[in-house]
Amino acid sequence: MDRFLLSEVCRKGDKKHSFMKFSRTTKILLLGANIWYFGEGMLGPLFAIFAERIGGDVLDITWAWATYLFLTGVVYIVVGKLISGKKYKAKIMVAGYGLNALFTFGYLFVSSPLQLFFVQAGLGIAEAIGTPAWDALYAKNVDKEADTYAWGLAGGQSQIVTAIAIIGGGLIVHYLSFNTLFIIMGIVQILATIIQAKIA
């Protein structure tokens, strides 16, 4: 009987841990991030095709992507230092999301590799403004007893959402156009910004 009771207690404890309850802030952060990943992910590997259509070659694509990653990395560090310990992280995050949506619409006006560099640079800066703040807010609001599950959920959902988005983006470009894709991407990211603004 003692063994049975002990087994039931352990089973209920595991079940409670598995179905942890997220706070309202955590749910908003996850929802907003997933919508953002969907908007961003729709371009994915189609970026190379778009770059070629505006006259870019392999080196242009390489430099554009490298510019995005380099600026993202540098601004990540700067923003992380500037907002460390500050109370306005949510506002910074929303600003980053909004700036990202703005530069996404910028794709509509790109007609040369040089213009593409500027848009990629803007997107890199926007991501670097929003992401450190998101990470800090998420870490602060996560259930400490199940933090690995919470971060696994955030990472796993972003990959799944991006995979679905890539398929959607491919279908849109195939049957419609890149401009239609960029408009939809921008609208989706505006929606993500509005959702994240609920905690700002």
Q: What percent of the chain has pLDDT over 70?
A: 90
Q: In this model, does residue 96 exceed pLDDT 90?
A: yes
Would you give the end-to-end CA distance of the chain in angstroms?
53
pLDDT in tens, 109-136: 999 999 998 999 999 999 999 999 999 9
Are 61 and 117 contacting, i.e. CB atoms less than 8 angstroms apart?
Answer: no
Query: Is the Cα dihedral 3, 6, 10, 12 positive or negative?
Result: positive
**Which domains are present in the chain?**
24-199 (1.20.1250.20)
Q: What percent of the chain has pLDDT over 90?
A: 58
Three-state DSSP at 48 gives helix
pLDDT in tens, 132-154: 999 999 988 887 776 788 888 88
* 5, 8, 68, 118 from 1: Cα distances, Å: 6, 11, 63, 70
Q: Quick one: pLDDT at residue 42?
A: 96
* Dist CA 140 CA 142 (whole Å): 6
Enter the tokens of residue 24. Answer: 């309202």
* Dist CA 161 CA 193 (whole Å): 17
